[in-house]
Every structure is written in C-alpha cells, then in structure tokens.
Structure 1
Amino acid sequence: MEVSKCEYKEIGARFKMEASLTYQLIIVACINIGQIVVGYSVGWSAPIIPKLQNVTDNPLEEPITDLEASWVGSLLYIGAMVGPYVTSILSNLIGRKPCLFIGGLLNITSYILVITTKNLTMVYALRVISGLGMGVTIVGNIVYVGEIASTHIRGILLTSTSIVGISGTLLVYSVVPFISYVCTGYIALGISLVHLIAILYIPESPVYLAMKGDAIKAAKTLNRLGRSNDVDKTLDTFSQFKGSETTKIQDWIEIFTIKSNRISLFLTFTLGAFQQTSGVAVVLFFATTIFKLAGSSIEPHIATIIIGVTRLVSGLIAPTFVDRSGRKILLLVSMAACSISLSVLGLYFYLDRVDSPALTNIGWLPMVALIVYFFCYEAGFGTIPNAIVGEMFRPNVRSNGSALAITLTWLVGFALTTSFNSMVETLGGDVTFWIFGGCCVLAFLFTFFCLPETKGKTLNEIQEMLS
C-alpha cells in the first residue's frame, strides 16, 4: 500500500513534534533534579530537629532548645528571600542557564557544611546557604521553564517543578529518621552534583538569546524545541532590545509603572501569601513536632512518611488537569478542602485542650486531617501558584518580578515559622490551625473574584489581557 507525499509530510511533522516534546521533557527533567534538592532542604529540618534535640547522633556538643530549633527551621527563609535577587540581577546579564548553575553550587556548599558540622553556628549557616540555593533554583526554574515550554504543555511543565520538589521532601521523611546526621548531607550532595552536571547539557533560554539580539541562536533553539511558529513573534518582541540595554533600575521601575506588571505582582504575591498563611511551611518544617504535640497514637516518623507519599500522589493531579480544566477551578476546589481539613485539625487540638474523653478513640485524627490537607493542597494550592508566577510579568522584568513576588511570599512564611511555637503557646493549637483554615477561605474568595484564567494563552496574550 503506497503512502502519498501528503501522508509522508504528516508523518514527518508528527515525528518532529514528538521529538521536540521529548526534548522539552528531557530539559525539564535535568533542571528538576535541582527541585529534588529544594524539596530535600524544605523537609530536612522536620526529622533533623529531633536528632539535634537528643544526645545521640547529635554532631553538636549539647541538645538545642526549642527556640534554637525554630531558627533551624526558619533560617532557610532568610537565604530563600535573598536567593531570588541573585537570579533577578544576573539572569538578564549572564543568562538563565548560568543562574541555574549558581543555584546548584550553593546547594553543594550547604550540604558540605552538613557533613562537616561542628557547632550550632554551622547549622545556622548551612540553612541560610541552603535557602540561597533554594531561592536561586526555584526562581531560575520557573523563569526558564516558562520561556522554553510550548503553550499547550506549559502548565504541565511548570507544575512539575513543584511535584518533583515534593519527592525530595518525601526522600527526607522516608530516609533521614533512620540514618545518621552526616549521611543526610552525603545523600543531598550526591543529588546536587548530578544536578550540576545535567545543567551543562541544557540550552540557554531562547527569550534571553532574543533579548541579547542573538537571533540565529534564538531561532535555532526555538526550532529544536518545536516552536517554529513562535520564532518571528519572539524576535519581533525583543527587537527593541537590539543595540540598547535596559538598565537594571529601569527594569525594576517597570514592575511598578506598567499596569500589567503591577497586576502580575499583586496577583502572584497575594496568592503566594495566602499559600503561606495556610500553614504549609509550619507543617513541613515541624511535621514531626506537630504529631508529638497532638499526642497522636501514630508514630510521628511513620506519619510524616505517609504525608509525604500523599503529597507526591496528589501532586500528580495538577499536571493532569491544569491545561484541561484550567488553573482556577483546581485552585478553588483545593482551597475549600484545605480549609475544612485544617478546621478539623483545630477541633482535635480543642478537644485535647479541654481533656475530652473522645480523644482516646480518635488518636488517628491528626494524621487523617493532615493527609486530607496535603492531598488537597498539592492537588492545586501547592503547585499552581508557581505555574502562575512563571506566566506573569513582561519578559524583561520576569526574573525581577518573580523574585519580588516569591521573596515577599517567603517573608510571610518566615514570620509564620518563627512565630509558630509562640502562637501555639499563646493561642493554643486549636486557634492556630483555625486561623490557617480561615486564611484558606480568604484565598478562595480572592481566587474566585480576582484571579484571571491563563489556560491556553501565550505569554504575550496573558500580558495583553492584564493590560
């Protein structure tokens, strides 16, 4: 049976499309190795704090206090709030790819310090450096993936970064409680080295190449990514940059003077702030401590492993539906369910405070409430905001705007993690988690009334819509 010339062309085009999509997936897989390290860093304090508070398997001379433990958890945010600005300053100067490499080097440095820890100051230092690496890596990945991805799979690839991060946290929960403190550093160091090598083989962002006036390389990269139709549009968009460099000050000013950038900052920061006030950072950093505090009948380390598996499984929901049903509906369902589960957890703490006899029969409730919370959180609330950050802002301020939105968000997270123990002591566990649940209700209302749907729109079309 003969195949017509037309059919040959169709088969060839289909093969080329599949090859280009595979190429995009391979690139994202390479940079997502860094997201495993990010997730590892986020979850590291939960099983490590009990080690540092014991006399066995403790590299320090004496156990740390509760106040020192809260700093071990929250200092990650100090570095994380600075890291994104490294990316924002350098990404338009030296490129997106070198920024990813710098993030990898910072991660390696932090876990060398884990291996060589001698005192509490070194623990504080490694948490700050780890946060720096986390900040550089997260913003670099969001900007880079948003710029290389085809429109119809951009949402999937952007949400994948959050999901891979969850696998890093699960690795911590599953392995770290059962190995020595020093071994926790060797594991992350090995992953960080693989990440650094993988970055060497990915291309520079075509958007950065176009901004620098390198039309030939930009066109070649877009063609290899299967985005031939975007070549003319991309080069035309950045023709204004050819022969003239915008200053860093001008880029920062444009975040606030151009309407679409102002709206982008408002949307991304507010959504991120609500994400933090849902209590997710508190639960991740102090998961083991929370189960002990609740007096749950389930062994704390086992409970955190179950939660980690739940997060990973539920995280697969967002990429499956984000480019089909859209961002908004997933967020709304996720926020509503998070509010209910946190309210139930608060109810458990209330029953514990009043010494209710019912507690003897519901020791499993804290774990179930947190499993439901994380399942619903990662299905939308935990993954989609990062994807939205990668879609917002004009190209020349995308790194700056993303950095500003994320660091303002992490500032909220830092305030919560440092004040968590004080909140529990002053307000009680019940009121604390009811506040977190109430913030999820406010997030629902904000998303319903203020957040636009970006499904199926190109980055240029999103900017036009916001204008």
Structure 2
Amino acid sequence: MDTRVAPFLCTSGSPNIRGILLTVYGVFFTVGAIILYSTGPFVSYYGTTYIGISLSLAHAFSILWIPESPLFYALQGREQEMTKVLEDLGRSQDVDKLLKKKEEFSNTNTKREWIELFSIRSNRKALFIVGVINILQHTSGVLAVVFFSAAIFDMAGSSIESHLAMIIIGCFQLLGSVVTPFFIEGTGRKRILAISSAICSLSMFLLGTYFYLDLKDNPIVDNIKWLPVVVLIMFYIGYDSGLGIIPNAIIGEMFTSNVRSKGSTLTMTTSWFFGFMVTTAFGALLEAVGGHVAFWFFSCTCACAVLFTIFFVPETKGKTLLEIQDAL
C-alpha cells in the first residue's frame, strides 16, 4: 500500500468506516493484477511492460489529486485548507480537535519523530506488531506463487493452460478482496486475519502434499491433476480476504499521528525486503529440496501468522486512534 495513502485514509476516515477505506484499496490492487493476467498472454513481453508502466503512471498521477490529510494542514498552520478538507469529508465538527493536535505536535521535527518511534512504548509495540505481521504476509508465499505460477502448473502437469489458470485465479482474488470491506467493520480485523491466515496455511500444506506425492510417483496424483489450481484458488481467496489486506490496513491505525509516516515507511520497506529475499530464493529452493518443502515452509509461515494474530494483534474495530494508542 502506498505509504501516503494509508495515513491519509486513517486520519481522514471516521472510526466506523476506517477499516472499509483501508481495505478497499486492495480491490484496486487486484484489478490491476487481473488486467496484466488477461493481456499478458496476447501481447509481447515489451507490451506487458508498457501496460504495467501505464498503470503505474496512472496511479502516480491520481495521487496528485489526493489532498493532504487535515492533520497535515493543521500542523502547517493552513487552517483554511484544513477546514475545507474536513467539510468535504463531512467532518467540520472536528476542526477544534485538530487545532488541539496542532499544539500537541507543533514542536516535532524529523529527528524527534524517529526518536519517538522507538522511545515511546506504544510506538515500539505498534512497530513490532505491524512489522512482524507484514513480514509474515510477505513470506507467506504469495509473491513466489505469483511469479512462479506458470512453473508450478507445468510441474503439476495441470490440464489447464497456465495463462487461463492465472486469469481464473485473479478473478477469485478479486472475489476475496471485494468481500472483506463488507465484513471488516462487523466481524473485526483480528478474526478475519486469523481465518484468512489459516486458509492460506491449509492451502500451502495441501499444495506441498501434492508435490510430495508426485515426487514419490504415487498413482493418486494422476487422478488429481486439477488440485493445484483449486488449491491456489483457495489460497488467493483466503489471502486477499485478509492476510493480503489487513496487515497493510492496520499500519495506518497503530502509530501515533506524528510518527505514522516514518513507521509505515520502515514497516513496508522491511517487509518487502523479506518478500524479495523469499521470492529470490524460491527458484533455487525448488531445485535444491523440491516444491513440497518450499510450500510446507509457506504453510508454517501462515500458521505463525495465525498464532501471532491471536496473541499479539489487537482488535481496532470501531476504536478511535486515541483509544488504540491507550490500548497499546
């Protein structure tokens, strides 16, 4: 998630719709992936790259239309712009609250923000929670599965062509990401995240078991060539309904306002680094120990996400940012 979008949505949305705003971002992420899945097989490699560049440029220019958060305007002393944004959001009653925030953070600076990120207990705890859950998200196997999907289908001997399978999977991804915004405020982040991680863990375990049976030349494999596609569909529905969205969403909810941009940037950079390492090593891991070991590793990672969610991730449903900080 764009590290500018999350803080804006968090400080601009009311507590009862904040989760919806933060998770709906994942829907458009999935739509972009489907566009590439659908056009990639029918254009050249360069054509696919140009499509990706076009989407990225459209995203970059669209950000220019997003106003700064009301808190930013308050800290800059631009009360007229702050008032206008709040009125556009239907929150004109919050003007006095943000002016008080201005007094609270008027003496902050970049160096002090980095210090407070690690010196204030609630920020340290927030950094630990969002850092670990985002690392678990990026090491769940999703990046490796996306980048090596064609190889996975070829290894499994699937009867479905790889590009068609990716389009089918992309549509189910969209289903998973569309469903979450409707339930996140009623069910809560924590429960959805735990269930989603459990589905991902089960999916990766089944996929690993399939490749283990295939390695052992078990005759049952000949009758279940369809299983990898079904398992990946199940994985993506589970991933995009929670594990792929909520860790990004809670980044915007856990930190205090003055360190939110620093905390979100550090968290995303660290988690994507771990994702890069896993994806880079995945190809070598397939050759060295076999696909079954790699997918069982991803299954264990997702199981760790379940346990971490249960014991460490707080429920932020319906809470104001101040209430979340008090809980931390």
> Above 0.5 in TM-score?
yes
Note the C-alpha offset of 1:241. Answer: 3.6
Aligned residues with identical type, % of pairs: 47
Note the C-alpha offset of 1:378. Answer: 0.9
Aligned equivalent of 2:258: 396
Q: How many residues align?
A: 328
Question: What is the 5 A alignment of 1:208-287?
Answer: 208-242=72-106, 244=107, 246-287=108-149
Corresponding residue SS for 1:335: helix
Note the C-alpha offset of 1:189. Answer: 4.1
Note the C-alpha offset of 1:312. Answer: 0.4
Does the Cα contact within 8 Å between 1:212 and 1:241 map onto a contact in 2? no
Q: What CA distance in whole angstroms lies between the structure 1 residues aligned with 2:117 and 2:291?
A: 39
Residue of structure 1 aligned with 2:200, choices 338, 341, 361: 338
Residue of structure 1 aligned with 2:164, choices 292, 298, 302: 302
Note the C-alpha offset of 1:324. Answer: 1.1
Q: Kindly provide the amino acid, as one letter, of the partner of residue 160 in structure 1.
A: V
Closer, same or farther: CA 189–335 of 1 in aligned 2, 3 Å: closer
Closer, same or farther: CA 361–447 of 1 in aligned 2, 3 Å: same
Q: What CA distance in whole angstroms lies between the structure 1 residues aligned with 2:274 and 2:52?
A: 27
Q: What CA distance in whole angstroms lies between the structure 1 residues aligned with 2:53 and 2:257?
A: 33
Aligned equivalent of 2:34: 170
Q: What CA distance in whole angstroms lies between the structure 2 residues aligned with 1:376 and 1:431?
A: 21
Structure 2: state its 5+ residue gaps: none
Aligned equivalent of 1:26: none
Corresponding residue SS for 2:185: coil
Q: What CA distance in whole angstroms lies between the structure 2 residues aligned with 1:196 and 1:339?
A: 34
Does the Cα contact within 8 Å between 1:255 and 1:397 map onto a contact in 2? yes
What TM-score, normalized by structure 2, do the two folds share? 0.95
Q: Kindly provide the amino acid, as one letter, of the partner of residue 214 in structure 1.
A: R
Question: What is the 5 A alignment of 1:316-331?
Answer: 316-331=178-193
Note the C-alpha offset of 1:457. Answer: 1.0
What TM-score, normalized by structure 1, do the two folds share? 0.68
Note the C-alpha offset of 1:190. Answer: 3.8
Corresponding residue SS for 1:203: coil
Aligned equivalent of 1:454: 316
Note the C-alpha offset of 1:174. Answer: 1.0
Could you give the per-residue CA deviations for residues 115-146 of structure 1, whole angstroms, max 9, x where no partner exists? xxxxxxxxxxxxxxxxxxxxxx7112212222
Question: What is the 5 A alignment of 1:366-445?
Answer: 366-445=228-307
Q: What CA distance in whole angstroms lies between the structure 1 residues aligned with 2:276 and 2:323?
A: 34
Closer, same or farther: CA 202–431 of 1 in aligned 2, 3 Å: closer
Does the Cα contact within 8 Å between 2:36 and 2:52 map onto a contact in 1? no
Aligned equivalent of 2:13: 149
Corresponding residue SS for 1:340: helix
Q: Please report the RMSD computed on the Cα atoms of aligned residues, expressed in angstroms.
A: 1.6
Does the Cα contact within 8 Å between 1:391 and 1:462 map onto a contact in 2? yes
Could you give the per-residue CA deviations for residues 341-365 of structure 1, whole angstroms, max 9, x where no partner exists? 1111001100111111112111101
Does the Cα contact within 8 Å between 1:310 and 1:371 map onto a contact in 2? yes
Note the C-alpha offset of 1:409. Answer: 0.8
Does the Cα contact within 8 Å between 2:36 and 2:51 map onto a contact in 1? no
Note the C-alpha offset of 1:235. Answer: 1.6
Q: Kindly provide the amino acid, as one letter, of the partner of residue 226 in structure 1.
A: G
Rg larger in structure: 1
Structure 1: state its 5+ residue gaps: 1-136
Aligned equivalent of 1:38: none
Corresponding residue SS for 1:311: helix
Could you give the per-residue CA deviations for residues 16-52 of structure 1, whole angstroms, max 9, x where no partner exists? xxxxxxxxxxxxxxxxxxxxxxxxxxxxxxxxxxxxx
Question: What is the 5 A alignment of 1:16-55?
Answer: none
